[in-house]
Amino acid sequence: MAYNRYITGILPDQNYRFILGSLTDVALEVGHVLNASVPITALLGESMLAAFFLAGHNEKARRTVVGIDMQCNGPARKILAFSSSDGIVRSFCSSPDVSWEGNIYAGKKDGLFTVNRFVEDSRKVYSSSVEMHDLPLEKNVEEYLGRSDQKLGFIRMETTIDRDILLDVSGFSFEALPGASVEDSERVLEMIRNTRPSDMVHGLLSDGDGERRVFSSSLSSVKILKTGTFEYRCDCSKEKIEKVLLAMGRQSIEDLVAEKGHVEVFCEFCRRRYEFQPSEIYNLFNAED
């Protein structure tokens, strides 16, 4: 059964916070819009989930948007994934139709892993990069947390594909809070080692309101902070496209009009088409004079 939900909470006795989520339906929707292969659809699903984990652990409690930019040496080449802390996601791949044999992460291989954070009500963008290794995406996100954020976190994601059909993209993220001891971390790690991500995520999600009190017998009570659903949404608009055209400059845009008779722009994320006729281009640039 596919889910499209998330739960955030705290393990009070272990000084750990957690996020659990499954966004299979959203991944399939994104894959359909981009006409992506099944492996790319799965990799985009994991990328959006990873971005959500990073956005959801926002200590300032303000709405945060995290963008993950992966410059890949694998067949995927370039992947962008965005998620807000309230589960609004979107993603893009420069080579959506490629396929490969083996694990999902073989599509990205190594490269550069960059995270951009946008905090609501702030004009600042916080950006940092680390080397991306030819390992599962979860391992790269864990390393990013440790090296760039100096945080101890454990992330696991699980993708299920059967007969070339994507059945599930789910995962969890546990992050140590101030005061977490070595013993606390060991208990959380013990649970992670003994529980598949899909079992933990769907076990808690299936309780409806997420009020089940324990993950396993090895841990104490769970405090649920928030439940919600993922939503695929692109924030492109004609006004934003106009700003891009203005940034490109009058001469370059007028050259395009002379060559093609109009200007046509496609959004990379939702494939929405924006068309500008010569009169619109004229009015756009004259309004700036």
Residues 76 and 164 in one domain: yes
Burial of 78 (C-beta count, 10 Å sphere; 0-12/13-18/19+)? middle
- What does pLDDT average to over the chain? 87
CATH number at residue 269: 3.90.1280.10
Average pLDDT of 219-247? 85
pLDDT at 216: 55
52: phi > 0 → left, psi -120 to 50 → alpha, else beta; which? alpha
pLDDT at 288: 66
Sign of CA dihedral 35, 231, 43, 167: negative
The number of beta carbons lying within 10 Å of the beta carbon of residue 194 is 11
CA terminus-to-terminus distance, the chain: 57
pLDDT at 205: 62
For 86-141, give the DSSP string. TSEEEEEESSTT---SS-GGGGT-SEEEEEEEEETT---EEEEEEEEPSS-HHHHH
pLDDT at 224: 84
- pLDDT tens digits, 79-118: 999 999 999 999 999 999 999 988 999 999 999 999 998 8
pLDDT at 220: 57
**Beta bridge partners of residue 17, listed in sequence order:** 10, 175
How many domains, the chain? Answer: 2
pLDDT at 9: 87
pLDDT at 87: 93
Contact between 91 and 140 (Cβ < 8 Å) = no
Residues 252 and 204 in one domain: no
161: phi > 0 → left, psi -120 to 50 → alpha, else beta; which? beta
| Residue span of the structural domain in which 227 resides | 4-232
CATH number at residue 182: 3.55.30.10
Residues 225 and 252 in one domain: no
Contact between 41 and 27 (Cβ < 8 Å) = yes
Give the helix/strand (H/E) hosting 265: strand 263-266
pLDDT at 145: 86
Q: Is the pLDDT of residue 214 over 60?
A: no
Which two structure tokens, joined as six digits, stand for 4? Answer: 């499209």
Contact between 156 and 174 (Cβ < 8 Å) = no
Residues 268 and 166 in one domain: no
Which two structure tokens, joined as six digits, stand for 113? Answer: 């892993």
Residues 283 and 219 in one domain: no
Residues 248 and 284 in one domain: yes
Residues 211 and 273 in one domain: no
Residues 111 and 184 in one domain: yes
pLDDT at 211: 46
Average pLDDT of 191-212? 70
Q: Give residue 60's pLDDT band: very low, low, confident or very high (50, 70, 90).
A: low
Residues 40 and 170 in one domain: yes
- pLDDT tens digits, 136-169: 999 999 999 888 777 888 999 999 999 899 999 9
- Domain boundary, last residue among 215, 232, 249: 232
Amino acid sitting at position 191? M
Instruction: Report the range of poorest mean pLDDT among 11-20, 24-33, 47-56.
Output: 11-20
